[in-house]
Amino acid sequence: MALLALILILPFLASCENHIDLRPDSQGAHLCLNAYIDADSLQHQLLVTLTGAHQPTKVSGAHVMVSINGTPETEAVENNYHQGYYEFSARFSPGDLVRIEVLTADGAHMAFAEEYVPRPAELEDVAPRLIEGYTSYEAYNEYGAYLQQVDAYQLRLRINDASETPDYYQLHTNWHIHHYFAQQYPWRGEEWEVNEQDYRQEGRFDGNQDPIFMEGHTITSGGDFDFPSLGHIENKQGVFSDRLFNGKEATVTIYETVPNVFLKKSEPQDEHHSDESEGGIYQTRVKEHYSGTLTVTLETISASEYYYLKALNTRDSDVYDDTSDLTGPIKTPTNVHGGSGMVGFHTSRSVTLPLYRPEE
């Protein structure tokens, strides 16, 4: 926020700073409901908390009723191991009106959220291409954003918009990585000891240069001063609307950072080990190999979830600061009547891509 800094240091505007007491809030605690409900799944959970002057508190013993299209469907049960979390099973279909109502055990707080289950969009073929040395607008620190050279897969995602009404999307990626590790001890014989392990990790992608993903406000490489809107809000939550392709097909280009481990070569390598018990220095032969699949998921989310996640983008950007004087604190959007928080529903489509380095 170079400009704002400049405004404040204008030589003739010598500002002065004082502290004044903060009067306590007379409004009392608000019931806060939070959930991201996957309508394609049967199992769901809801987090119930109360706001507080110093700390929020998790709510136990609340009565949580779930209704679909006006008919009570099920009651949620509190998770014994995770205080404040309530679990329930329900099957939702696109177009269902779902209401989740919460009453605290003492009857002092009641709040509810109502949402329609959105219709999924179609996600089609992607064409991955490895870009070595892609300049990613990667991270933030106290000086703002900085750039990072990474190897990345360029993914071109073809999306068929869900309907001609406004639709909202969230994009995310997940890696399923297979780790192959083999060692050979020549002094013991020719056999290889093989260890194989599968694990998952959240993907990291950059869609800052795509007009659809950034809804017109692309961020190019270049640091803090390149974009004219005087502050970047990176789309960390990966949400966008169909404003630019309502009812049509569109292609979104993102760059998925290749995980560091995935870049390791698979050729056998000699490693020197000093093993006094064996009486000297020996060579161990090692083969290590990573392969994996990348799953790209496009969730169709409700409008309130879209605006909530947009607000989280703002909250997590360098534009916003809890102690910002000019922009003021964020009033977090909510779809909870009688309280705060956000209960969102989504349906999703995914594609899974086997990815490996071209030379392999």
Partner 1 sequence: MLGLDIAAQQRFTVSGHIMETVSSETMIGATVRDALSGSGTQSNAYGFYTLTLPEGAVELSFSYAGYQAEHRKLQLTADTVINIQLKPNDMLREVLVTTDRPDAGIRATGMGVTDVSVEQIAHTPALMGETDVVRTLQLLPGVQSGMNGMAGLYVRGGGGDENLIMLDGTPIYKVDHLFGFFSVFTPEAMKKVTFYKGSFPARYTGRLSSVVDVRTRDGDMQHFHGTASIGLLTSRLNLEGPIVKDRTSFCLSARTTYWDWVARPFMPSDTKFSYKFFDLNAKLNHRFSDADRIYLSLYAGQDRMKDDYVDTWGTHDESSEKYGNNMRWGNNIASLRWNHVFSNKLFSNVTASYNYYHMNLESYDDLVEGSRLEKSRTAYHSKIRDWTAQVDFEYDPVPQHRIQFGGSFTYHRFQPETWSVMVNEQDNNVAGVDTTYNSPNPPTPAQEYTAYVEDDWHVGRLHLRPGVVFSLFHVQGKNYPTLQPRLAARYAFTDAWAVKAAYTDMAQYIHLLTSMPIAMPTDLWVPITRNIKPERARQVSLGGYFTGWKGWELSAEVYYKDLRNVLEYRDGLSFLGFSGSWEQLVSMGRGRSRGLELMARRTEGRTTGWVAYTLARSDRKFDKDSGVNAGEWFPHAYDRRHTLNLVVNHKFSHKLDLDATWMFHSGEAATVATQRETILYPSGAEEIAYYVPSRNNYRLPPSHTLSLGLNMRRKLKCGALRTWNISIYNAYNSMNPTLVYRQYYGEGYAGEEKLVKYTLLPIIPSFTLTYKW
Residues 209 to 228 in contact with partner 1, rule: CB under 8 A: 209, 211, 214-218, 220-223, 225-228
Count of residues in contact with partner 1, rule CB under 8 A = 95
Q: What are phi and psi of 187, to 5 degrees?
A: -75, -10
CB nearer partner 1, residue 4 or residue 286:
4
6 binds partner 1 (CB under 8 A): yes
Find, among 61, 58, 63, the residue nearest to 47 by Cα: 58
Q: Enumerate residues 6+ apart whose C-beta is below 8 A from 54.
A: none
314 binds partner 1 (CB under 8 A): yes
232 binds partner 1 (CB under 8 A): yes
Q: How far is the CB of 27 from partner 1 (least distance, A)?
A: 5
Q: How far is the CB of 304 from partner 1 (least distance, A)?
A: 8
Cα–Cα dist 194/76, whole Å: 45
CB count within 10 Å of CB 212 equals 21
Find, among 184, 139, 165, 148, the residue nearest to 286 by Cα: 184
The pair of structure tokens assigned to 7 is 């405004």
Could you say which residues in the range 133-192 bind partner 1, by CB under 8 A? 133, 135, 170, 172
Per-residue b or e along 140-165, where b marks 16 or more CB atoms closer than 10 Å to that residue's CB: eeeebbeeeebbbbebebebebbeee
Binding mask 264-303 for partner 1 (x = CB under 8 A): ----------------------------------------
Could you say which residues in the range 57-96 bind partner 1, by CB under 8 A? 58
347 binds partner 1 (CB under 8 A): no
Q: How far is the CB of 154 from partner 1 (least distance, A)?
A: 10
Q: How far is the CB of 269 from partner 1 (least distance, A)?
A: 29
- Give CA 112 to chain center in angstroms: 25
Cα–Cα dist 11/262, whole Å: 52
Could you say which residues in the range 27-46 bind partner 1, by CB under 8 A? 27, 29-30, 32, 34-36
Q: How far is the CB of 161 from partner 1 (least distance, A)?
A: 15
Among 18, 71, 141, 197, binds partner 1 (CB under 8 A): 18
Q: How far is the CB of 53 from partner 1 (least distance, A)?
A: 6
Report the Cα–Cα distance between both ends of the chain, in Å, rounded. 45
49 binds partner 1 (CB under 8 A): yes
233 binds partner 1 (CB under 8 A): yes
Cα–Cα dist 265/78, whole Å: 48
242, 291 Cβ separation under 8 angstroms? no
Could you say which residues in the range 241-260 bind partner 1, by CB under 8 A? 241, 243-244
